Chains A and B, each alone.
Chain A
Amino acid sequence: MKEKTVTPELAREHGLSAAEYGTVLGILGRAPSLTELGIFSVMWSEHCSYKSSRIHLKKFPTKGPRVLQGPGENAGIVDIGDGLAVVFKMESHNHPSFIEPYQGAATGVGGILRDVFTMGARPIASLNSLRFGRPDHPRTRYLVSGVVSGIAGYGNCIGVPTVGGEVSFDECYDGNILVNAFTLGVVRHERIRLGTAAGVGNPVIYVGSKTGRDGIHGATMASGEFDEKSEEKRPTVQVGDPFTEKLLLEACLELMRTDAIVGIQDMGAAGLTSSSFEMASRGGTGFLMDLDRVPQREEGMTPYELMLSESQERMLIVAKKGREGEVREIFEKWDLDVSVVGEVTGDGIGRVRWRGKTVAEIPIAALTDKAPVYDRPAERPEGQDALQRLDPAGLPAPSDLGETWVRLMGGPELADRKWVYRQYDHMIRTNTLILPGSDAAVLRVKGTRKGIALSVDCNSRYCHLDPFVGGMIAVCEAARNVACSGAEPIGLSDCLNFGNPEKPEVMWQFRSAIEGMAKACEALGVPVVSGNVSFYNETMGKGIHPTPAVAMVGLLEDASKRRVQWFSSDGDLILLAGADRLGVHMGGSLYLKEVHGKVAGTPPPVDLAHEKRLQEFLREAASADLVASAHDLAEGGFACALAESCISGPRGPIGARVENPFPEAARPDFAMFSECQGAVLLSCAPAKRDAILDLARRFRITMKELGVVGGEYVDIEGLAKVGAAELRTAWGEGFAAALGLEG
């Protein structure tokens, strides 16, 4: 078989620009072989190289007293005390999930799990952030069902609970859904392992599944837009095998209890290529790899295919010389393939051999250092001013506010997600103290008193209207959710989903969102320790709303101090913390979209100093056992937050009677559904009232006493009064009903 000759045209087909190809020629001093072209093409793809995002990602604060590992490794690591650390990351699997929802989502989960256990941590929980098109779009139901069952199929089988997440719908995702998966693991400090290849002469060992022809150029696919031919890319989607990954997980953790290994990395995007080159790059070494020793599932695979395959459930290990036997024994016990495929060398060159010939010979430092970095032009979109114009006074007021309230609670954005999370095993490993359905999930860390709180958040309408403020809000809301549960945010991972970065308006959205997020992170003292950028979320030239999903990790020193979002006892008082944050902010609100069919205006204002005080107050109130519940005002405003606190608890609907919290005479519909940043609904036993008000004064948080829990109605005096059971039914049945799914 004769290999194709590499030409500039072929390089272009591989997604390399003329300038990039010129750099390749300069590095090698010759034309690349086909295998080398493949390697450069994936390593310099947007997905692997972050070439358009790198200069902006530097704006994130990534350090802090607890940070043990920031961005640049397989996942971030944050200390939680007592010699323990949490390892976490979020990653996108958008394009594959749109093409093949079950396998796309499943392998997204599999990939992020490997990123975590490759660092030595046992995964204890997963989250996901999902975006679909309009609920009534002909493809949405199929995509929702497929993605949810794919996540369930993989996560449930491997035995890591999926404890929370978010699902949202908007027509901007009709042709480009978002599937972002997050996993967190726990590790003892001394067991942390990194993806590095060090020690000349050390063996490079391949473990896990055999390599097949699946997923070749997945990373390149994720670096281009979609068009009507995308369906034809189905073969580039990988197929997941969670059973094998479970074996791989147990075998890797067993191996890591020894000191036989130097480094380990999973073969994710760009498979064998990225794992080998990235490990050598971090170690400042080179490697020699013999592809004939790679376990293969199919016959006649070329070196190009072997290097670029994205077959799942594989890992690359650098072991200490002489310890190969131990590695082999463990993986054979778990019925997994294990093969020494090469060794670490000292010359800084990645050398790949196949059938006795050298098929690639690439200086690793140059591949990494000379990787393209773009400062792409950014420009505020022309239509942005028009988009931000909104005259709320001109909106017609609904005739029946109670009916509107019920409709919003039962609508696709707010309705109970039980249809989704009932399919996820969210209890396995018996750590989940707060099950899905509250602001944050809380897990215990066995053997300690600690709890981990997790929440993922992003309001993409806000980001669309003002990416800077929207970015700030994504961070603030995720942190606030964690604070409501009683925890201190200690780090975050993000998944930055945007359109085509070659368009200046998309680049402006990206830059603005990052700057907003970074500002909020600085103010709240929360480092970004890992994350992922997903560009080219466009179909037929139309981009999605900017969607920087934020997964926040919080720590409770004492998990028994955790708090939920729902009311629990008749007679408890209801208070609003941050009452002065209320105002008529209809821009980007759910009410505006669902009832008036508009996405316009500007997002509600943010006060970061207030936000920080509020979150400290919430933690203090929880740890002093002053509050029974805490739930922040978000989508749907005051009325919907109140309804959620009344109906989302495990004991069923419970009523409440409160006064209208608005200071001045706002229009009734605005008072109910206006959105704001920095207000939280609390409930407490009457005996705790004075202590809470004292505490609030200490943190300079404005409190308003609103009413009492109890009765059959959720009654906002003078505005609307609806049966708690009616709200509960609409909310409980709304999700399946909106999608036409069986309940």
Chain B
Amino acid sequence: MKTAVLVFPGSNCDHDAYHALKHVVGIDAEFVWHKRSSLEGFDAVVIPGGFTYGDYLRTGAMAKLSPVMGAVRRFAEGGGPVIGICNGFQILLEAGLLPGAMIVNDSLRFVCDYVHLRAGTDRTPFTRGIPEGTILKIPVAHYQGNYYADEETLSSLEERGQVVFRYCDPHGNVTRESNPNGSARNIAGICNEAGNVLGMMPHPERCAEEAMGSADGRRLFDAMVAWLGERTA
């Protein structure tokens, strides 16, 4: 079982994702440079956070043009699990693998803090075994995490069970106060229709160990391992 951790110029959570997979969860992981055009031999793909190309254009707008993104698209079409975290989520949006767009936080400031998430569906490889309504404590760290989509798209996401995480308070209530960035309908993470591609602003790789203040992030990677195990079985 081997996971690809993509590395673009400006990726900076690549080491953290690698550490969580390899040293905490204990599965094989490998860095994949963005100029590679094949993901053969990999069972899952992590697009880590960072500031690809400095976010100098729109976030993710340059990274989506890298050769590796063609391979990611094919990998996703084949049903392989893909998780885009923070800038990785932004890249998935720009690449059209997920609907919607990101705009600047409503505070107009970068925000790094622990938040609470309410799980919305267990149908993705990363939330298998995390039932709807589960509350997770996971940090965010971003300047542009204010998810935007038109009303029709938002309703369709909800109807089709594509809203994977929403910001909530510690008791699971989805409130305005618990939304760190102004995101539409408190959306923190969504998946594609098939459910195998997940994009989320919060950073599960940052809280895979108790010493980091929460180990809830590990549950997503454990779920992925279990899902992959089932698939091969």
Q: Which residues of A contact B (CB under 8 A)?
A: 149, 152-153, 156-159, 241-244, 246-247, 334-335, 421-430, 432-433, 435, 444, 446, 650, 742
Pairwise interchain contact A246-B211, C-beta atoms closer than 8 A: no
Residue B111 CB within 8 A of the other chain: yes
Contacts of A427 in B (CB 8 A): 112, 139, 141, 203, 206, 212
CA distance A149 to B139 in the complex (A): 20
CB neighbours of B209 from chain A (8 A): 430
Interface string of B43-57 (1 = CB under 8 A from A): 000000011011110
Other than the given A423-B109, A433-B211, 7 more pairs (CB < 8 A) read: A149-B110, A243-B9, A334-B9, A428-B13, A429-B16, A430-B16, A433-B212
Give chain B nearest CB distance to A542 CB in angstroms. Answer: 33
A428: chain B residues at CB < 8 Å are 12-13, 16, 141, 206
Q: How far is the CA of A433 from the CA of B112 in the complex (A)?
A: 15
Question: B173-228: which have CB < 8 Å to A?
Answer: 203, 205-206, 208-209, 211-213
Which residues from A are CB-within-8-Å of B77? none
Q: Whole-angstrom distance between the alpha carbons of A446 and B20 in the complex? A: 12
> A246 and B110: CB pair below 8 A?
no
Are B54 and A426 closer than 8 Å at their CB atoms? no
A430 and B12 form a contact (CB under 8 A):
no
- Among B32-51, those with CB < 8 Å from A are 50-51
In the complex, B19 has a CB within 8 A of chain A: yes
Are B12's CB and A159's CB within 8 A?
Answer: yes
Chain B: residues with Cβ within 8 Å of the partner, total of 32
The reply to whether A444 and B211 form a contact with Cβ atoms under 8 Å apart is yes
The answer to whether A159 and B212 have CB atoms under 8 Å apart is: no
Contact yes or no, A242 B16, CB < 8 A: no
A-B residue pairs, 5 tightest by C-beta: A159-B12, A243-B54, A157-B51, A425-B141, A425-B112
Interface of chain B, helix or strand or loop or mixed?
mixed
Judge whether B51 and A242 touch: CB under 8 Å.
yes
- 8 A-B residue contacts at CB 8 Å? A243-B10, A243-B51, A247-B9, A334-B9, A423-B111, A427-B112, A427-B203, A430-B209
Q: Are A157 and B54 in contact (CB under 8 A)?
A: yes
How far is A157 from B13 in the complex, measured between Cα atoms in Å?
Answer: 10
Give residues of chain B (96-119) contacting chain A, Cβ–Cβ below 8 Å: 107, 109-113
Judge whether B160 is part of the interface by a CB distance below 8 angstroms.
no
Within the complex, the shortest CB–CB distance from A284 to chain B, in Å, comes to: 38
Given A428-B13, A446-B19, A243 and B110 contact (CB-CB distance below 8 Å): no
Q: Which of A158, A247, A426, A427 has the largest count of B CB atoms less than 10 A from its CB?
A: A427
Residue of B nearest to A432 (CB): B212
A742 to B143, CA, bound (A): 16
Closest Cβ of chain B to A650, distance in Å, is 8
Chain A nearest CB, measured from B206 CB (Å):
5
B15 at interface by CB-CB < 8 Å: yes
Q: Do A246 and B139 have beta carbons less than 8 Å apart?
A: no
Contacts of B56 in A (CB 8 A): 243
Q: Is the CB of B109 within 8 A of A157?
A: no
Closest to B9 in A: A247
Q: When A335-B9, A446-B19 are in contact, do A430 and B212 touch as well, CB less than 8 Å?
A: yes
**What distance in Å separates the Cβ of A104 from its nearest Cβ neighbour in chain B?**
18
B30 to nearest A CB, angstroms?
Answer: 17
Q: Which residues of the partner chain A approach B109 to less than 8 Å between Cβ atoms?
A: 149, 152, 422-423
Q: Is the CB of A430 within 8 A of B206?
A: yes
A428 to B49, CA, bound (A): 10
Q: Which residues of chain A are near B10, meaning CB under 8 Å?
A: 157, 243, 246-247
Chain B nearest CB from A112 CB (Å) reads 18
CA distance A433 to B211 in the complex (A): 6
Across-interface contacts of A246 in B (CB, < 8 A): 9-10, 12, 51
Give Cα A569 to B111, complex, Å: 29
Kindly state the separation between the CA atoms of A246 and B213 in the bound complex, as whole angstroms.
27
With a cutoff of 8 Å between Cβ atoms, the chain A residues found around residue B51 in the complex are 156-157, 159, 242-243, 246
Question: Is A430's CB under 8 angstroms from B205's CB?
Answer: yes
Known: A334-B9, A428-B141, A429-B15. A159 touches B205 (CB 8 A): no
Whether the pair A243, B107 counts as a contact (CB closer than 8 A) is: no
Instruction: Decide: B19 and A158 in contact? CB cutoff 8 A.
Output: no
The interface residues of chain A lying within 8 Å CB-to-CB of B19 are: 430, 446
**Are B54's CB and A242's CB within 8 A?**
yes
Bound: A742/B108 CA distance, A: 10
A604 CB → nearest B CB, Å: 35
CB distance from A574 to the nearest CB of B (A): 25
CB neighbours (8 Å) of B206 from chain A are 427-428, 430
Q: Given A157-B51, A242-B54, check contact A424 B112 (CB 8 Å).
A: yes
Residues on A with C-beta less than 8 A from B213 are: 435, 650
Q: Which residues of B contact A423 (CB under 8 A)?
A: 109-112
A152 touches B212 (CB 8 A): no
Inter-chain contacts of A156 with B (CB < 8 A): 51, 110, 112, 141, 143
Minimum C-beta distance from B149 to chain A (A): 26
Instruction: Tell me, in angstroms, the Cα distance from A435 to B139 when the chains sit together.
Output: 12
Q: Are A426 and B112 within 8 A (Cβ)?
A: yes
Q: How far is the CB of B173 from chain A (nearest CB, A)?
A: 17
Give B84 Cβ to nearest chain A Cβ, in Å: 17
